[in-house]
Amino acid sequence: MNIIDYLKDRTLFLLVNLLLFVIICGILLLININSNIIILIFCLWFIPILTYITSEFIKQKNLYRELTSIMESLDQKYLLSEIMKEPDFVEGKLLYGFLKQANKDMHEHVKKYRDMENEYREYIETWVHEIKSPIASTRLMIENNQNEITKNINHEMKKIEEYIEQVLYYSRSNNVSKDYMIKEIALSTIVRSVIKRNSRDFISKKISIDIEDIEGTVYSDVKWLEFIVNQVIGNSIKYIRESNGKVKISTKRNEYNIVLTIEDNGIGIINKDINRVFEKGFTGENGRKFGKSTGIGLYLCKKLAEQLGIGLTLTSKDRVGTTVNIVFPIGNVGLML
């Protein structure tokens, strides 16, 4: 706010006072009042007015300068009324009161929707746990009635379980800090566990696995990390070539990090889609062509990786293959606090 804008806002007030003074001055001249008296009246009239205007301008300018400074330094702008000092003039007090009331109402609305989200998330988690019972019963019946049909059913049940697991992790993805336990993990343990989970798919699709020396220990959450690795390997299996399919898993230790690389010789990703693979709901040309992609898996992996302090990058060439790098900082650098 500058003085010109401030005076423009008070143009009517100043014009009215000036007009009244001119009228009074004309009357005084008509009755032959000494000009010195008129000058004295002018000073007695306008000096207090100008003093008042200047004082108010300084007060308001200081307030707006303070508000501007606070807004620039705040990441969460809605906290303005919590940090600013209450002004000592009437207009400032009114503005302060309005901001306080608006902030209070905003918090109430946020709390309402946060409670609704928590209720929905709790319902999803309850549903996931409830659905596990009939799945376990179905698996038991399959085990007791082994034949070609039940084997196929078992394969489809595995897919159902993976989708249910994805739903559970998605519902918790905004609250990872409440459901994680950081500890030292051997990468070889994670890789073996995921390979075992997908062993039937590797065998049925005749996909060869080239596991080089998986070395190194990292700090992360076993459950969340296994989910990420399983999603990546699951994508490799989905989009593998019909013949001579191959998945290569290796690690590389650098000065500041350990990189777990998962590489396949599948159908790959076209160039125009490569920068969008981590977007929510994005399936890309290959996803639509093969009808197997939900556009959630890689998005969820990226989201969880960021919250766990893990890097996740993807490179690919169409009809050549895809390489995913999971980057772990050495030691406990980058972990959530």
Alpha carbon dihedral 171, 174, 177, 180, in 10-degree steps, equals: 30
Model pLDDT for residues 57-104, shown as the tens digit of each residue: 888 888 888 878 877 887 777 777 777 788 877 777 888 888 888 888
What is the distance in angstroms between the CA of the first residue and the CA of the last residue of the chain?
42
Rg (CA), the chain: 35
SS3 182: coil
Residues 6+ apart with CB under 8 A from 217: 184, 185, 186, 187
Q: How many whole angstroms separate alpha carbon 151 and alpha carbon 156?
A: 9
Model pLDDT for residues 6-63, shown as the tens digit of each residue: 778 788 888 898 899 888 888 888 888 888 888 888 888 889 888 888 888 888 888 8
Q: Give CATH superfamily name and number for 180-329.
A: Histidine kinase-like ATPase, C-terminal domain (3.30.565.10)
Q: How many whole angstroms separate alpha carbon 222 and alpha carbon 260?
A: 15
Q: Enumerate the domain spans of the chain.
A: 3-106, 180-329
Q: How many whole angstroms separate alpha carbon 48 and alpha carbon 142?
A: 95
CA-closest candidate to residue 168, choices 206, 201, 123: 123
- For 309, list phi and psi in degrees, rounded to 5: 75, 30
CA-closest candidate to residue 237, choices 285, 283, 294, 198: 198
CA-closest candidate to residue 249, choices 173, 198, 309: 198
Model pLDDT for residues 128-141, shown as the tens digit of each residue: 888 888 888 898 89
